[in-house]
Amino acid sequence: MIFCTQPDDCYNVLMRKQSWVSIVLILAIIVAAYFMVQSVRDSAQQAVNPIRQANNSLQTQVSNLLHPTPTIIPDPSTYIHEVRALARLETIQYSVEKVITAETGQDIFKALLGDRLLLVAHGVVIGGIDMQKMNPQDLQLQDGSLFVRLPQAEIFIATLDNQKTYVYDRQTGIFRSPDQNLETLARQSAENEIRKAALDDGILEQAQTNAEIYLERFFQALGYQQVTFIH
């Protein structure tokens, strides 16, 4: 109940009360509308999620069909042809990168009948001396000095690193199927080129020098202070 001394005062009080009531109602409507929109959005999201998941699953299946993951199945049978005892002293290792181009039919009709690939080859070349080739007469002790004749250095391994070697580019003519042997030939050529690059860079000379340095320290540790290598 409102008590007023003047009619105007009662009118003003009543208007202010109605204004506050209107503001509260408007706020209540806004809050209710917000929660209603949020509820509708959550419901729509829940309805869309299964469709989105089904779409993602379908895309994954299509991708697996177009780009299947290779399956490697090794034969359970293993045949060991030879076992040899080795006495190799590895003294140097080269890591070599070589670009190999292999191509066939690269004439005026190469766009139709040609086949060409670019192979980026990474290889390892390991050199040293084979201690098994040494004979007793290769070690001579004279007046407290040890004379040693070492075998000539050689390359033990010249092979590609398959994890780093890859085909950078492949171009096949419109009317030609890719030659399955072309990459094999490129890899074989890459191994030969990697070996040749190491030889040209003097891998055998460095392998021989490293072997002499290592064995000199080894013989000195055994008590032979004077060690001479005979070439």
Cα–Cα distance for residue pair 127/149, rounded to 1 Å: 18
Residues 28 and 110 in one domain: no
Residues 178 and 95 in one domain: yes
Q: What domain range is 36 assigned to? A: 1-47
Residues 43 and 106 in one domain: no
Q: What is the pLDDT along the chain (231 residues), one digit of tens a residue?
A: 444 454 544 545 445 555 555 666 666 667 666 666 566 566 656 655 666 665 666 566 656 555 567 776 777 777 777 777 778 999 999 999 999 988 777 766 666 667 888 999 999 999 999 999 999 899 998 888 899 999 999 999 999 999 999 988 888 767 667 777 888 889 999 999 999 999 999 999 999 999 999 999 999 998 888 999 998
DSSP-assigned beta bridge partners for residue 148 = 139, 229
125 in a structural domain? yes
The pLDDT value recorded for residue 15 is 55
Cα–Cα distance for residue pair 121/98, rounded to 1 Å: 5
Residues 111 and 197 in one domain: yes
Count CB neighbours of 208 within 10 A: 22
61 in a structural domain? no
Residue 144 — left, alpha, or beta (φ > 0 → left; ψ -120 to 50 → alpha)?
left
Cα–Cα distance for residue pair 57/51, rounded to 1 Å: 10
100 in a structural domain? yes
| Overall number of domains in the chain | 2
Residues 148 and 230: beta-carbon distance below 8 Å: yes
Residues 119 and 187 in one domain: yes
Residue 131 — left, alpha, or beta (φ > 0 → left; ψ -120 to 50 → alpha)?
alpha
71 in a structural domain? no
Q: What is the pTM of this model?
A: 0.65
76 in a structural domain? no
Cα–Cα distance for residue pair 89/107, rounded to 1 Å: 49
